């Protein structure tokens, strides 16, 4: 038996991107994760949902934040080019690109009696006939 995680509405949310809770999960007013349980519930139109990454769970976890505590969206920055990547780009731009030629496979021999492909030895695995 294979155990898999179930599909959930939270799976469709992007990581580290604030989304309005009313658009994601409508319902009753709830509390900000940072303000805690002692704070009054806030209407979902004024709360932000952020899906965070988790080191042990690939689906991550979701938290609701008020406008005061919502984290900024984390946009991954591309790595800075190094001397090696710059040199590789210059070399690839200087050399013309070649198209890979399609590989044409040679048809394999088939035993005329058994209609089975014959191995490289030329002997049929079923009847033992030698195919030239």
pLDDT, residue 96, reads: 66
Cβ atoms of 43 and 35 within 8 Å: the answer is no
pLDDT, residue 43, reads: 92
Question: Which of 17-21, 53-57, 74-78 is least confident?
Answer: 74-78
Across the chain, how many H-helices and E-strands are there? 2, 3
Cα distances (angstroms) measured from residue 116 to each of 104, 106, 128, 130, 131: 21, 16, 11, 13, 11
pLDDT, residue 28, reads: 92
Going by C-alpha positions, the residue among 35, 30, 24 that lies closest to residue 70 is 35
Which of 126 and 106 is assigned the larger pLDDT? Answer: 126
Domain definitions of the chain by residue range:
9-65, 107-132
71-122 pLDDT, tens digit each: 887 656 666 766 766 677 777 766 666 677 778 888 888 898 888 888 888 8
pLDDT, residue 77, reads: 65
pLDDT, residue 95, reads: 64
Going by C-alpha positions, the residue among 62, 79, 58 that lies closest to residue 18 is 62
């Amino acid at each position: 038996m294979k155990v898999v995680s179930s599909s959930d509405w939270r799976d469709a949310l992007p990581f580290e991107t604030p989304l309005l809770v009313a658009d994601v999960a409508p319902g009753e007013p709830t509390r900000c994760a940072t303000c805690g349980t002692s704070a009054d519930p806030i209407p979902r139109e004024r709360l932000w949902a952020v899906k965070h990454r988790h080191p042990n769970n690939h689906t991550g976890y979701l938290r609701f934040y008020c406008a005061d505590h919502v984290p900024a969206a984390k946009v991954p920055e591309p790595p800075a080019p190094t001397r090696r990547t710059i040199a590789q780009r210059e070399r690839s731009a200087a050399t013309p690109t070649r198209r890979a030629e399609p590989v044409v496979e040679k048809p394999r021999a088939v035993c005329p009696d058994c209609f089975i492909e014959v191995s490289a030895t030329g002997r049929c695995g079923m009847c033992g006939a030698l195919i030239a």
